[in-house]
Chain A
Amino acid sequence: KAGVTQTPRYLIKTRGQQVTLSCSPISGHRSVSWYQQTPGQGLQFLFEYFSETQRNKGNFPGRFSGRQFSNSRSEMNVSTLELGDSALYLCASSLRVDNEQFFGPGTRLTVL
């Protein structure tokens, strides 16, 4: 069974731009979560989607948003990029609630 895939793997943007990241979960997994990882803050939860609905949200500003499609694929968007948004963005999928989450390879975003 194929794992979680994320595209693109690397992105370079400038301040003020916006970016869209994509995640395809493991086949059959309906829950998709997004995380941000930085050296200073570690791994932080952004949000979780299940059946096209945002079910949980972390403590990030409204510039960070996401959505999920009917095939469970998910996208996250960051608008008005700031230097501090440079990070590894990770997507994880799970079969159901309170279940093991499996991570994709991540998208490395650099904001200049």
Chain B
Amino acid sequence: QKEVEQNSGPLSVPEGAIASLNCTYSDRGSQSFFWYRQYSGKSPELIMSIYSNGDKEDGRFTAQLNKASQYVSLLIRDSQPSDSATYLCAVNIGRYGNKLVFGAGTILRVKS
């Protein structure tokens, strides 16, 4: 079993719709979780971090964490064509320090 799993997609949504991206992880001791966006040929860009169970909202983005189910999700409201990118889920498995494990990423395509 991979440590962080995501559906590779592509996930296609129409402009203005809600895009829902999901991620599961295997390390029950992990305490910090991140979503990155990566455009083709560019480096990952941090869009959300979440540390506690529940929802965290930032603009059009909402991250959801359920540690009991080992599940993290990202909702993008009012999706725009500029949101088309690969979304990477990352989990810090380092007990002392930072050691991010990434999922393979979900390709999102927003169609206008």
Contacts and interface: CB of A to CB of B under 8 A. Distances in A.
Interface of A: 31, 33, 35, 42-45, 48, 50, 55-56, 58, 88, 90, 92, 94, 97-106
B104 A42 contact: yes
Given A33-B100, A56-B94, A98-B92, A103 B105 contact: no
A48 B43 contact: no
B73 to A, nearest CB: 18
Contacts of B98: 31, 33, 48, 55-56, 94, 97-99, 101
Among B42, B44, B97, B98, the one with the most A-chain Cβ atoms within 10 Å of its Cβ is: B98
B78 interface: no
A97 B97 contact: yes
Interface string B77-93: 00000000000101010
Contacts of A90: 43-44
A43 B100 CA distance: 9
Contacts of A35: 100
Query: Which of the four size classes fits the interface of chain B?
Result: 20 to 34
16 contacts: A42-B102, A43-B44, A45-B99, A48-B97, A48-B99, A56-B94, A56-B96, A56-B98, A88-B43, A94-B98, A97-B96, A98-B94, A100-B46, A100-B49, A103-B36, A104-B43
B46 to A, nearest CB: 6
A58 B46 contact: no
Among B94, B97, B99, the one with the most A-chain Cβ atoms within 10 Å of its Cβ is: B97
B96 A106 contact: no
